[in-house]
Amino acid sequence: MTRYKHPRGRVVSSPMFGACCSIWAKKHVVLLPLFLLLFCWPLTGFAAERQYRITETELARLEQNLTRQEAALLKALNLLGEQRTELAALKAELQAALIELEQSKAQIQSLKESLKSALSSIESANQSLKAYEREMKSRLRAAKWQRNAWAAGVVFMGAAYIAK
């Protein structure tokens, strides 16, 4: 280990110790009194709490104000409790309404599906009725033609019988 000579003539065995001591000694001598003053400040009278004098009427007025504020605080706390209870009840109502809404949505969906089914049934019934109507018109035309043919045949036969 190398030994160093301190600027004041002492021999120091560590380079860090020598550098540290020389810096502390030369540049930061002012900090020691400041640190001491900072740590001893509470021991002085300057840091003590200040005291005030008040009259008995002022003390009574302060006590009345404190009592009023305590009463107002209790009233506010009671109101807060009531409002929390009311809030819980309203939350329960809201939850019930949301459940009912979901049930209504499910019912609406099922009714829509039923309506679709009914509409498709009505549409197929309409198509069946139109097909039946076409068939009946065709049969009616065939029956009319057959009736007219028979009538014409009877007229010709009647005319042939009279002409004979």
Q: What is the pLDDT of residues 74-100, one digit of tens each?
A: 999 999 999 999 999 999 999 999 999
- Left (φ > 0), alpha (ψ -120 to 50) or beta: where does 14 sit? beta
Give the pLDDT band (50/70/90) at residue 27: low
The answer, yes or no, to whether residue 67 has pLDDT greater than 90, is yes
Structure-token pair, residue 161? 């019988």
Q: What percent of the chain has pLDDT over 90?
A: 59
